């Protein structure tokens, strides 16, 4: 429905969607205006009735995201960002917390969906490096929607978020919203969070995301 509505208005634009990729469509980010869509981020939450579920839509032009929208229909929270024009929740300007001290920070992360042992070992060891006797965040939350995790950072409801092995449709809109809210986004190479990193699985572009938000 999202793709057909947009395609009617913008017939020359391209699309990258989680469901289209799952159906075997080739995923390719070009300079052409491209809508990057996750119709349901937080699928497991949706199945269980946990109210942390969103539609995430981003528009990239010349491989740069210029518009991002993340909508949690259950809580009626609409997060929006436009390149150079700020970030908003339900029309009101939002800003990251500005917290720079790990011990005072609320960390947000995710387990991800794979239960592969090597991947889970990495997830637990990453969490351990932020939650231990010597070096610890104030708290940690794993809420089940990467897009909404990023919006939590954008409203200052969390101070940093990371996830290893994530897809472009999970974070394209959220990353712009964070930046427009005054935060920063990095990938694991230390670069400025390239939208599509090295593909890890099949044709899906994965962003090896490591983002820390220091305000």
CB-CB contact of 52 with 148 (8 Å): yes
Cα atoms in the Cβ-side hemisphere of radius 13 Å centred on 177: 33
Q: Which is nearer to Ca ion, 88 or 169 (CB)?
A: 169
Q: Which is nearer to ligand IPD, 43 or 82 (CB)?
A: 43
What is d(CA 153, CA 51) in angstroms, rounded to the nearest whole number?
A: 17
CA angle 58, 9, 53 (to 5 degrees): 35
Among 21, 27, 41, 206, binds ligand IPD (CB under 6 A): 41
- The residue whose two tokens read 């999202």 is 2
- Binding flag, residue 87, ligand IPD (CB under 6 A): no
* Contact letters for ligand IPD, residues 95-124 (x by CB under 6 A): ---------------x-xx-----------
Residue ranges for the binding site for Mg(2+)? 18, 38, 41, 170
15: left (phi over 0), alpha (psi -120 to 50) or beta: beta
For residue 207, the partner it binds in ligand IPD, Ca ion, none, with Cβ less than 5 to 8 A by kind, is none
What is d(CA 137, CA 28) in angstroms, rounded to the nearest whole number?
A: 37
User: Binding to Ca ion (CB under 5 A): which residues in 146-205?
Assistant: 170
CB-CB contact of 181 with 94 (8 Å): yes
To the nearest whole angstrom, how small is the minimum distance from the Cβ of residue 103 to ligand IPD?
25
What is d(CA 169, CA 130) in angstroms, rounded to the nearest whole number?
A: 26
For residue 53, the partner it binds in ligand IPD, Ca ion, none, with Cβ less than 5 to 8 A by kind, is none
- Binding flag, residue 110, Ca ion (CB under 5 A): no
For residue 27, the partner it binds in ligand IPD, Ca ion, none, with Cβ less than 5 to 8 A by kind, is none
Cα atoms in the Cβ-side hemisphere of radius 13 Å centred on 204: 20
User: Going by C-beta distance under 8 Å and a sequence separation of 6 or more, which residues neighbour residue 86?
Assistant: 93, 180, 181
User: Binding to ligand IPD (CB under 6 A): which residues in 157-196?
Assistant: 163, 166, 170
For residue 4, the partner it binds in Ca ion, ligand IPD, none, with Cβ less than 5 to 8 A by kind, is none
Interface with ligand IPD (CB under 6 A): 18, 38, 40-43, 110, 112-113, 144-146, 163, 166, 170
Interface with Ca ion (CB under 5 A): 38, 41, 170
């Amino acid at each position: 429905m999202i793709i057909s509505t947009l395609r009617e208005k913008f017939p020359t634009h391209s699309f990258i969607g989680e469901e289209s990729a799952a159906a075997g469509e080739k995923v390719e980010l070009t300079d052409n205006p491209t809508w990057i869509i996750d119709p349901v981020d937080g699928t497991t939450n949706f199945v269980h009735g946990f109210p942390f579920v969103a539609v995430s839509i981003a528009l990239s032009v010349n491989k740069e995201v210029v518009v991002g929208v993340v909508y949690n229909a259950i809580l009626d929270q609409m997060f929006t960002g436009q390149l150079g024009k700020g970030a908003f929740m339900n029309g009101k300007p939002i800003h990251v917390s500005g917290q720079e001290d790990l011990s005072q920070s609320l960390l947000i992360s995710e387990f991800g969906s794979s239960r592969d042992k090597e991947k889970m070992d990495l997830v637990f060891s990453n969490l351990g490096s932020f939650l231990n006797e010597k070096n610890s965040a104030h708290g940690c939350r794993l809420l089940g929607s990467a897009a909404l995790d990023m919006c939590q950072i954008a409203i200052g409801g969390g101070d940093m978020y990371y996830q290893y092995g994530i897809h472009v449709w999970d974070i394209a809109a959220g990353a712009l919203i964070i930046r427009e809210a005054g935060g920063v986004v990095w990938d694991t190479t230390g670069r400025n969070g390239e939208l599509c990193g090295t593909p890890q699985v099949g044709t899906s572009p994965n962003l090896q995301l490591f983002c820390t938000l220091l305000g």
